[in-house]
């Protein structure tokens, strides 16, 4: 059972890696990271 789960996780990781290499997806990732950084540095803290 663990072997099947490991194989499935490897397949999912490969798909994510392949998608992240595409230029338009790289831009989406950069935009998302910039958005999170801006939100964290905006000074609004959750209680």
Entry field: residues in the chain: 47
d(CA 29, CA 21) in angstroms, rounded, equals: 10
Give the integer Cα–Cα distance in Å for 3 and 20: 26
Q: What pLDDT shows up at residue 43? A: 66
7 pLDDT higher than 90: yes
Sign of CA dihedral 13, 32, 34, 18: positive
Taking 60 as the threshold, does the pLDDT of residue 36 lie above it?
Answer: yes
Q: What is the pLDDT of residue 32?
A: 93
Sign of the CA dihedral 18, 22, 28, 30?
A: positive
Q: Is the pLDDT of residue 44 over 70?
A: no
């Amino acid at each position: 059972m663990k072997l099947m789960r490991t194989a499935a996780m490897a397949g999912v990781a490969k798909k994510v890696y392949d998608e992240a290499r595409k230029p338009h997806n790289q831009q989406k990732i950069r935009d998302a990271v910039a958005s999170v950084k801006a939100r964290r540095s905006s000074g609004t803290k959750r209680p």
